[in-house]
Amino acid sequence: MDIDAWLWWLIGATALGIALVVTAMPELGMLAVGAIAAALVAGVFGGEAVAQVVVFAIVSTAGIAVVRPIANRHRAQRPQLATGVDALKGRQAVVLERVDASGGRIKLAGEVWSARALDTDRAYEVGQEVDVVDIEGATAIVM
């Protein structure tokens, strides 16, 4: 049984699509798109094998060249909405129990947190407002 070239390209595109889902590598998706373009050249336009391979190479390379920088830019971008512990950094809190390098308690976002002074030589007294610099586990680091 003789299988047409366009069908081989579609089988290749399907295999690349499955590999994309398994590995989450966007480059494989671009190769799959290139294989679909080569299938179109083979099936619709009746292009020769050389034309199919050239279209596959050009479409795949162009796709990777366009998509990779966009994906890298999105990957490097911080989320616009801070949630969880990240949302508490930079907020102000009120000292409930004296806070120094060895510990203390603060009221942060309506909850009582254990806290420790960032500067080991500083101490913050009850009622004083402090800034939360970082969160380490369940302890707020303040200054």
Six-digit token string for 45: 């336009």
Give pLDDT, residue 52.
Answer: 94
pLDDT of residue 26: 86
Let me know how many helices (H) and strands (E) the chain has, helices first.
4, 5
CA pair distance 130, 90, nearest whole angstrom? 10
The predicted pLDDT at position 74 comes to 84
CATH code assigned to 85-142: 2.40.50.140
Residues of the chain falling short of pLDDT 50: 1
Amino acid 104: pLDDT: 95
Query: Considering the entire predicted model, what is its pTM?
Result: 0.54
Scanning the structure block, which residue is given the tokens 């671009």?
30
Q: Return the pLDDT at 40.
A: 94
* Residue type, position 14, single letter: T
Show me where the domains of the chain are located: 5-76, 85-142
Distance CA 63, CA 3 (A): 28
